[in-house]
Structure 1
Amino acid sequence: MPSRPRKTETDETGPVMAADRVYDAIYAAVVDHRLAPGTRLREEELAETFAVSRTLVRQALHKLAQDNVIVLRPNRGAQVPEPTRRDGEHVFDARRVVECEVARRLVGRLSAAQLAELKQIVEAEARATKSQNKQEAIRLSGEFHLKLAQMSGNPIFVRLLEELLPTTSLLMALYKAPGEPMCVAHSHKSLLQVIGKGDSAAAAGTEMRRHLNEIERSLSQPASRAPVPLRDVFKPYRPAA
């Protein structure tokens, strides 16, 4: 994930990175579609939900806004963005630049252990998709793309992708037909096969471009979603009573 706040707060379990916990939970909820585009993020409600001070909530929200995960609007507070189709064009342009280069660089450089790790993610994504566990499939899809960037050895690629994934996920929530996965697991399998062969950097870049184009083309009609109360969205992150 992007860089995080460092201020600590103490609860019953001892010192914890409370602002980090809020940051991570909101980031994850945006990426895996538990927070719908346009959702208001009220400081008081978040503070009660996470059992932390509003100061720490505000700190996390400001960092999320800096990382382009949420937006802060004057007199309206924090809100999950509602990216336009034009925003989507910009996001996928950027992803093609970064991830096609990542794919090219990885050809012939991955160890057997790294290839096995990527294969495990792809197989787990396929199982989640088959069992209709949408949130897990979305999480694993993002993990696959991030893991490739991490394995490239360039931390700037990783940071850029961390900033692009939340907007990509919001575009999926807004414009992708209900029931379709964020990425197609078999596409990840094909991409991994090309990278693993180690004989053509150009072919790997082409396969990544084809995959990203496939995702972008899947964006169609705006989809409506009923809002979910923040307390329900972040229930797993609440500290134990």
Structure 2
Amino acid sequence: MSQRRVAGVPPDPPDASPALPTDRVYEAVYAAVIDQRLPPGTRLREEELAQAFAVSRTVVRQALHRLAQDSIIVLQPNRGARVPEPTRRDGEHVFDARRVVECEVVRRLAGKLSAAQLAELRALVAAEERATRSQNKQEAIRLSGRFHLELARLSGNPIFLRLLEELLPTTSLLMALYKAPGEPMCVAHSHRRLLAGLERDGAGAAATEMRRHLNEIERSLSQPASPAVPALRDVFRAYRGGGT
């Protein structure tokens, strides 16, 4: 596993870009997979990415190798890099793992979050609700992932956080492939119920609510879709600049 920058949340483009060019490319591709700007199956051509980020192909190659090591993309001999296309069986494995990790996360957090931490989580849910109401799909997806990552960060176990950072991109790709158009990645009111459980209920009840929430997401997967594949220069326009 490569040493991914563990910030606890996906970056807010374009202002939060890391200083190093390789990190900048890595984080931008990671975020684009999470918020479904890079659909499953998208080819990640080195030359296009180098132009999109105004960096060398060497920098792009280094970032792609790190992304492949972290299972965010796949690298195939003589075929280059592409965004994975997870199967429904892959989805079963992902949600099994998420239930193990995230149910334990909320079990540990139940009744132990400070007023400030609860307020921060409520602010994330409120922002997700605003994005959903305004039909800003990409922002709603990003905030949903951020909510789950923030819970993992608050657990104090960096391994939980790292595991979830690796599971979220595949979850997002599954949503792009199998979720009915127009439905959000998570339902914000489910996040509100989770918060209420963390604040007032015991560890067992909080874990039960998280399991119900993840089961709800998994059940929403339906028929395969065919997302449109965008031009890389358009996907990463906001990240262009800096580094060689």
- 1:201 Cα offset (Å): 0.5
CA distance in 2, matches of 1:16, 1:105: 34
2:128 corresponding residue in structure 1:
125
CA distance in 1, matches of 2:20, 2:4: 10
Q: % of aligned pairs identical?
A: 77
CA distance in 1, matches of 2:178, 2:52: 30
1:93 and 2:96 aligned: yes
1:57 and 2:47 aligned: no
Report the 3-state secondary structure (helix = DSSP H, G, I; strand = E; otherwise coil) of the residue aligned with 1:177.
coil
1:10 corresponding residue in structure 2:
none
2:11 corresponding residue in structure 1:
none
2:159 corresponding residue in structure 1:
156
CA distance in 2, matches of 1:146, 1:228: 27
Report the 3-state secondary structure (helix = DSSP H, G, I; strand = E; otherwise coil) of the residue aligned with 2:146.
helix
2:241 corresponding residue in structure 1:
239
1:187 to 180, 185, 190: 190
2:211 corresponding residue in structure 1:
209
CA distance in 2, matches of 1:16, 1:212: 35
Structure 2, unaligned runs of 5 or more: 6-17
Which structure has more relative contact order (CA 8 Å, sep 6+)? It is 2
Deviations 1:93-112 (A, max 9, x none): 00000000001100111000
1:140 to 138, 143, 153: 143
Higher deviation after alignment, 48-57 or 80-89: 48-57
The number of equivalent residue pairs is: 229
Report the 3-state secondary structure (helix = DSSP H, G, I; strand = E; otherwise coil) of the residue aligned with 2:75.
strand
- 1:152 Cα offset (Å): 0.4
- The CA RMSD over aligned residues, in Å, is 1.3
Larger Rg: 1
1:34 to 33, 37, 40: 37
CA distance in 2, matches of 1:144, 1:110: 14
- 1:26 Cα offset (Å): 0.3
Structure 1, unaligned runs of 5 or more: 6-14
AA paired with 1:110?
L
Report the 3-state secondary structure (helix = DSSP H, G, I; strand = E; otherwise coil) of the residue aligned with 1:182.
coil
The TM-score, its normalising length taken from structure 2, stands at: 0.92
- 1:52 Cα offset (Å): 0.6
Deviations 1:67-112 (A, max 9, x none): 1100001110000000000000000000000000001100111000
